[in-house]
Structure 1
Amino acid sequence: METLSRSSSKLEPTPVNWRVILVSFTILTASSSTISMLFPYLPWMVRKFRVNGEFVQEEDVGYYAGFVASAYFFGRFFACYFWGILADKKGRRLTVLVSGSGIAVFTFMFGFTNTRLGLAWAMVTRFLSGASNGVVGASKATVADVSDDTNQALGMTFVEASWGLGLVVGPALGGLLAEPVRQYPGTFSSGGFLETFPYFLPCTVTASLFAIGLVLVFFLLPETLRKRGSSYNVDEVEASVLYVRPVGNDDDGSVSIERTKENNDTFVQDIDTVADESEPKAYVRESNGVWTRFRGLGRRARRASVTAIKDSTWWNILKIKGARMSIATYCVISFSVVGFDELASVWMATKSYRGGLGFSEKEIGISQAVLSVVLVPVQIIFVRKLEKKLGSLMTFYAACTVCVLITASLPALSSIENSAALWTMLLVSLIFLRFCMGVTFIMVSICMNNSVPKYRVGAINGLSVSLTALTRTFSPSVGGSLFAWSIGWGEGHLGFPFGHHLVFYFFSIVYLVALLLSVNLPSSLQKQKKQ
């Protein structure tokens, strides 16, 4: 018996599909803007809410800001896996257009949040906005569809850079346009619509920009998912045909195949869908890498009804060790990154005598915009070079270590009294931190994409976004609640390290957990599956 194995050929550089990459980058930037645009004004919005008939107190702002931020990711938890399945079945482009329309609508509705509608309206509209967001998983699958080992790092860098640019656009719009009557009294008169709904303007502008992104998707983004279940002329299919008999499962989820009859120089692998077959069958490998069974054996068959053997499911994905560990690492990283993003705004807005920086909405928006303006080109220039030199896993280890160290050191900045020194140290620290946050996401995303065949990339991204949404649901609430407790009871009764330092140490430990988890990632995930 002769068993087929993976061919090892030297990879040649592949041209980048810039149209797909840039359109995906644009819609992902718009998506991240809808998430981040409330960061600068969320603490002030929460202060206007009434709870039990009273306005929210300063020490409780972190609690309720965490609830509003968590509602978005709670919605994503329920819906994103199903958006991923839709992306694999009906197409990436359709998923982006349908889900993106919901994001635009509910972002617009969030703008009507005020004192009268209060916490409930804010949480419901953010929940629905999150439940509508299938854009992230579908767009990441789109980029993976047009990438290979020679350019995948660059493609995923643009995916991550879109979040960075969204942190320019979103907070800038939120910080500059929120409460326009108070910020620009000479331009907007009191007692009007914008005073009744002080957050209508940034939400409407952000939703409008997202709608423009959807127009670009409609006209410029091609469908990258290869349709299955169609009829083909065997001679025209970019494929190799082989008569095979399954002989057993490998540890990584693939199936070893006994060669019973050759056709060309085909190597069979990663067929995890024929384990129960006992008779020799004929399969064809399409140009998208999907192995499917067809009727009409032989080279001269005129037509072949090509049918997918098995659909992508969460169970089939989680059976693969590399996929399980990649998703677990991605979830832990997401918990810390999103928790820190929400914490950063609350910490900056908190009075200095409570361990914060005492920043205004505009100062928070400016700080986020400056960071992201620097980070976007830096990520695009350096991440691919790091990945090429060190490999995906070593790059992840290094970046995660930096995240552990910088996160733990940030609370010391509140003791700096000189404004210029504070801004300098803050921006330098956050530039390095956010760069390394982005690198961890890029590297673990590459590992996730490489852990499954391409016809399951939509499903694994949908599943990962859904599961990370669950961790992101709790991280803002955990971070906000821990910060609120620490600057109140913890600082007053226990002192260091249970004061404002505590929540930073907590997220630093979470990064350390992610680092330990990543040690179990197989080195094979640094390359795409050969199909």
Structure 2
Amino acid sequence: MARPSHAGYCGDGDASCHQASSAIVMKPLDGSAVNANDSIVVVEPNPLPRQQLFLIWLIHASQGFQTTMLFPMLVFMVERYGVPGVGGRAIGWRAGLLASLFPLAQFCTSMMWGVVSDKTGRKPWLAFGCSVSAVSALLLGICTTYQGACYLRFFGGLLNGTLTVTKSALAELCDGTNQAKGFGILNLAWGIGSVTGPVISGLLAQPCAQYKIRNCPSILKEYPFLLPCVGAAIFSIAGVLASISFKETNPKFLSTSYNRISDLGQIEDQQRQSQQAESTEDHKEVELTSPSCKQKLIVLIAADERSATKHLMVSEACASAECGGSLSRKADEHHVSKSTRFSWIDRNVLMASLCYSMTGLIFIITDELFPMFGAASESVGGLGFSSSALGLILGEGGVVLCLYTLIFYPKVSRRLGPLKCFRIGILSTVPLWICFPVSSFLGNAPLLQWCLLLACMAARSVSACTCFTGVLILVSNSASPENMGAVTGLSHSCCSFFRAIGPAIGGLVWSYASGKHFFMHQFLAWDFVVLLSVSTYGLSFYLPPALTQPKRVTLRIEEPTEHPRS
């Protein structure tokens, strides 16, 4: 790449020329236009640590399983518990309330878990959260009352901050070059967990009645929902083992020095020579090249900078051991001490969190709505499907999600970027929510009905991966490294609140729609979700393009003390 002239960098209107004299600004060598907020032009993606990524995948998938495995058996559980005075339409809102308690509890504590993991590390709270999931799942399997199930779901979410911590840990493993792949795999983990959960619960719940087993074990007769809960507990125990093997990612608990850059001394010599030869110029150029680093940067260093410590702003892509260098990955304590406790909550954080929350609301409502719509009798506009049939449809969506995430999404993300992916993904859900209730008119053509449902579920998986992964990257990019856990906790807390009210809203809307008798009344609940999707698409235009790249990290270059030569 040819280096542009010095004038090309510090011409009129160049934002870098208006920085404080102590700042160091990086520019690309190819002379391309650079945004004032950008610090580096990425040449090629950095590889992600496979073992760490797999462990995060396993932990996150176990939480997806734990969160959604209740959906196919919710209605049957409420009926089994035999709540006095509950029947017909009242089952819908009670089932929605039970589903809402887990995310409602996480709304109360997610931000706390993020802040705690910022201060004490990610690893211990991953293991603790997975342990809580395993215990609460087993107790739910042997619960025989509606009130007991409500208590277990609430406290199981209250003491579990795993979702917040896994997102924070992944954000620390990724940089601007590989975010799409990293968060795509995280979304794949959630998708697989949230699909296998309903599938397994649909297939294993009430085995004696569902499969008409003659000599069914008495324990399964007494506890018909035990098997799905045991499956969730086993998955959570696997998450505990993965947490124990996981390596800490919080920068505060990592070694802060890296391998020395061989030509750092040359850089310092070039700077001193340039200052002596051209003392009248405001800025000097220094070329930073390291054999082990895949980036090559032009650094504009203020000529009047005389302090022993200089702050070098780079992206996380170059803050790795393979880049080398005596760089300290430490936050500027002077600036941190001056900041207020909640100074990290800015407009970008709030808007990204709101879009993430609205996306979560949309999909949690449909997660709740589809099983209710599918299990409802045809007389009230439903499909009259069994829990196993619903589980198979959801399983097909999981297969599509795997294929799309692993094969197609990285290419789509590289071409469009996270912001466009989010917008396209959320807008593409609008026709899907209309097509789902259309299937209720195809009861006399079961083959066509199944084809439509499978196509809709496959398209839903594609849309979910595209918009969820995009908005997760936007949330991550709105956070500074030292506040990653807090921002992730805030966004997950907001999303948990929306996910808490989502099932209740879905249950209430379906209860209202199923009680009507006019033509196409079953469309009412789905039309409500259409309005939410359109509203979220509109909100996406308040997200700035700057969120497509991660915030820069402050690294300190410690200059050696000069000794007089003998």
TM-score (norm 2): 0.78
Alpha-carbon spacing, 1:287–1:81, altered in 2? closer, same or farther (3 Å):
farther
In the other structure, the counterpart of 2:110 is 80
In the other structure, the counterpart of 2:464 is 437
| % same residue | 26
SS in 1 for 2:403: helix
Q: Give deviations 1:160-211, integer Å, cap 9, x for gaps.
A: 1112211342122211211122134436436x22211111121012102210
Query: Structure 2: how far apart are the matches of 1:211 and 1:415?
Result: 44
2:247 aligned with 1:222: yes
Deviation of the 1:133 alpha carbon: 2.5
SS in 2 for 1:7: strand
**Structure 2, unpaired ranges of 5+:** 1-19, 28-39, 269-300, 316-324, 554-566
Amino acid across the alignment from 1:139: T
> Which of 42, 45, 59 is residue 74 of structure 2 equivalent to?
42
In the other structure, the counterpart of 1:299 is none
SS in 2 for 1:261: coil
In the other structure, the counterpart of 1:517 is 539
Q: Give deviations 1:292-334, integer Å, cap 9, x for gaps.
A: 348xxxxxxxxxxxxx935998722322x21111001111111
In the other structure, the counterpart of 1:208 is 234
In the other structure, the counterpart of 2:361 is 335
> Which of 390, 406, 429 is residue 364 of structure 1 equivalent to?
390
Alpha-carbon spacing, 1:230–1:215, altered in 2? closer, same or farther (3 Å):
closer
Deviation of the 1:286 alpha carbon: 9.4
In the other structure, the counterpart of 2:504 is 477
User: Does the 8 Å CA contact 1:413/1:426 hold for their aligned counterparts?
Assistant: yes
> Which of 29, 52, 62 is residue 20 of structure 1 equivalent to?
52
User: Does the 8 Å CA contact 1:91/1:223 hold for their aligned counterparts?
Assistant: yes
User: Does the 8 Å CA contact 1:97/1:218 hold for their aligned counterparts?
Assistant: yes
2:98 aligned with 1:68: yes
2:306 aligned with 1:261: yes
> Which of 184, 188, 208 is residue 157 of structure 1 equivalent to?
184
> Which of 104, 111, 126 is residue 134 of structure 2 equivalent to?
104
Deviation of the 1:233 alpha carbon: 11
In the other structure, the counterpart of 2:123 is 93
SS in 1 for 2:332: strand
In the other structure, the counterpart of 2:151 is 124
Alpha-carbon spacing, 1:185–1:386, altered in 2? closer, same or farther (3 Å):
same
Query: Structure 1: how far apart are the matches of 2:208 and 2:232?
Result: 19
Query: Structure 2: how far apart are the matches of 1:147 and 1:474?
Result: 32
In the other structure, the counterpart of 2:294 is none
Alpha-carbon spacing, 1:310–1:135, altered in 2? closer, same or farther (3 Å):
farther
In the other structure, the counterpart of 1:463 is 490
Query: Structure 2: how far apart are the matches of 1:137 and 1:6?
Result: 33
Query: Structure 1: how far apart are the matches of 2:101 and 2:375?
Result: 21
User: Does the 8 Å CA contact 2:111/2:490 hold for their aligned counterparts?
Assistant: yes
> Which of 365, 373, 393 is residue 399 of structure 2 equivalent to?
373
Query: Structure 2: how far apart are the matches of 1:78 and 1:136?
Result: 14
Query: Structure 1: how far apart are the matches of 2:484 and 2:327?
Result: 16
Deviation of the 1:61 alpha carbon: 2.3
Between the two proteins, the alignment pairs up a number of residues equal to: 474
In the other structure, the counterpart of 1:347 is 373
Query: Structure 2: how far apart are the matches of 1:204 and 1:373?
Result: 23
SS in 1 for 2:336: coil
Deviation of the 1:266 alpha carbon: 4.4
Query: Structure 2: how far apart are the matches of 1:291 and 1:523?
Result: 25
Query: Structure 2: how far apart are the matches of 1:163 and 1:361?
Result: 21
Structural mapping, 1:123-522, within 5 Å: 123-186=150-213, 188-189=215-216, 192-219=218-245, 221-227=246-252, 260-261=305-306, 266-267=311-312, 289-293=329-333, 309-310=336-337, 315-319=342-346, 321-417=347-443, 418-488=445-515, 491-492=516-517, 495-496=518-519, 499-522=521-544
Amino acid across the alignment from 2:538: L
In the other structure, the counterpart of 1:249 is none
SS in 2 for 1:426: helix
Deviation of the 1:411 alpha carbon: 1.1
Alpha-carbon spacing, 1:314–1:207, altered in 2? closer, same or farther (3 Å):
farther
Alpha-carbon spacing, 1:139–1:314, altered in 2? closer, same or farther (3 Å):
farther
2:556 aligned with 1:529: no
Deviation of the 1:104 alpha carbon: 1.1
Deviation of the 1:520 alpha carbon: 0.8
Deviation of the 1:213 alpha carbon: 2.2
Alpha-carbon spacing, 1:145–1:268, altered in 2? closer, same or farther (3 Å):
closer
User: Does the 8 Å CA contact 1:167/1:369 hold for their aligned counterparts?
Assistant: no
In the other structure, the counterpart of 1:10 is 41
Amino acid across the alignment from 1:261: R
Query: Structure 2: how far apart are the matches of 1:342 and 1:148?
Result: 35
Amino acid across the alignment from 1:408: I
Deviation of the 1:156 alpha carbon: 0.3
Q: Give deviations 1:252-293, integer Å, cap 9, x for gaps.
A: xxxxx99753568744599xxxxxxxxxxxxxx996844234
Deviation of the 1:434 alpha carbon: 2.4
Amino acid across the alignment from 2:60: L
User: Does the 8 Å CA contact 2:375/2:387 hold for their aligned counterparts?
Assistant: yes
RMSD: 2.9
Amino acid across the alignment from 1:156: F
Deviation of the 1:228 alpha carbon: 6.1
User: Does the 8 Å CA contact 1:66/1:478 hold for their aligned counterparts?
Assistant: yes
Deviation of the 1:504 alpha carbon: 0.6
Amino acid across the alignment from 1:380: L
**Structure 1, unpaired ranges of 5+:** 242-256, 271-284, 295-307
TM-score (norm 1): 0.83
Alpha-carbon spacing, 1:24–1:288, altered in 2? closer, same or farther (3 Å):
farther
Alpha-carbon spacing, 1:354–1:291, altered in 2? closer, same or farther (3 Å):
same
